[in-house]
Amino acid sequence: MSKHINKITLFLSLICLILGIRTNWREYTFRKASTVAKATIISVDTKLQSGKAIANVDYVLTYKRDNLIDTLSYSTTEAYSLKEPLPSIEELKKNNFYIYYVPKIKSNETPFKDRVFISNNKVLENIFYSGWFSRMIFILILGYILSRSIYRKRV
Residues 34-65: b if buried by 16+ CB within 10 A, e if exposed: bebbebebeebeeeeeeeeeebebebebebeb
**72 CB-near residues (< 8 Å, 6+ apart):** 39, 60, 61, 62, 63, 99, 116, 118
pLDDT score recorded for residue 18: 82
Q: What is the chain's Cα-based Rg?
A: 23
pLDDT band for position 96 (cuts 50, 70, 90):
very high
pLDDT band for position 91 (cuts 50, 70, 90):
very high
Edge-to-edge order in the sheet of strand 35-48: 68-79, 54-65, 35-48, 97-101, 117-119
pLDDT in tens, 30-56: 888 999 999 999 999 999 887 788 999
DSSP 8-state class, residue 86:
P
Kindly report whether the global pTM for this prediction surpasses the value 0.85: no
DSSP strand pairing (117-119 vs 54-65):
unpaired
